[in-house]
Amino acid sequence: MPRITAPAIGKLKGERKAVMITAYDATSARLADEAADMILVGDSLGMVVQGRANTLAVTMDEMIYHSRIVAQCSEKAHLMGDMPFLSYQTSPADAVANAGRFLKEGGVQSVKLEGGARSLPAIEAIVRADIPVMGHIGYTPQSEHKVGTGKVNRDADTLLKDAKLLESAGVFSLLLECVPADIAAAITKAVRVPTIGIGAGPGCDGQVLVFHDILGFNPDFKPKFVKQYFDFYGQASKALKSFRDDVVKGAFPGDEHSFK
Ligand code: KIV
């Protein structure tokens, strides 16, 4: 089955809401592929896979390792790689080289990178290399030491200006993170490319959430913008304790699990 292309994602604007889910490994890739138009191999893997406090230590090699697995275990969804910290900020040439590695080695079809006006040279260079780019404005986690964890620029003029700049640089879509709902709705009206929101209200053209947050992998992480659809941690903890009890009691394995 051919994967959904970047132009096909663009055409969803005004037709129906687009769905993006992150994935990092075989199981998350298979499940996300059943439900989403787009799979993002997010640098959030720094937190949800590696257990770190933020995304900053994630490397290009790690992103490519996870992208290759997700590419192998999904077939339909558009596949996007998230450019990690310092893979594009250093120079437009580095940005193109790393975006190119994502396509050539990671098997993705597009890349996402954070920042408005400041990321323009990198975005223009990647787009010139015919690599589709999703912009990412609002809260940009890679800048947390500069702006403060969770601190978002709420200035509507700057956000709108950044959105328009990125659109003219050629992004095929825009991720809006923790942008106030009214500003996100205004940006969505003002640009021709689809906006994908996370904590940016219902006025966006689509929504993204992190796989682990949708499924409740971390009982201690419940930000306002997440709707948790499953208690994975609670259910998994119960199941593993039942296994333990069965082993201790001698109730597992039974005859049905044993070879004659
Ligand atoms: O890395 C990530 O998971 C993200 C989210 C905003 C979806 O960029």
Q: What six digits make up the tokens of 191?
A: 């640009």
| Active site (catalytic) residues | 177
- pLDDT of res. 154: 81
Sites in the chain below the pLDDT cut of 50? none
Question: CA-to-CA distance for 159 and 195, rounded, in angstroms?
Answer: 13
- At residue 74, φ and ψ (nearest 5 deg) are -140, 160
Contact at 8 Å (CB) between 79 and 102? no
With beta carbons less than 8 A apart as the criterion, state whether 1 and 34 touch. no
Ligand 1 centroid to residue 43 C-alpha, Å: 6
* Ligand 1 atom with least separation from CA of 198: 6
Specify the pLDDT at position 217: 98
* Ligand 1 site-directed mutation target among 198, 214, 215, 225, most atoms within 8 Å of CB: 198
Is the CB–ligand 1 distance for residue 22 below 6 Å? Answer: yes
- Predicted pLDDT of residue 147: 87
Q: What is the pLDDT of residue 152?
A: 80
Which residue's entry shows tokens 């889910």?
A: 21
Dist. CA 257–CA 193, nearest whole Å: 54
Q: Is the pTM of this model over 0.85?
A: yes
Question: Which atom number of ligand 1 is nearest to the Cα of residue 114?
Answer: 8
Ligand 1 lined by 174 (C-beta under 6 Å): no
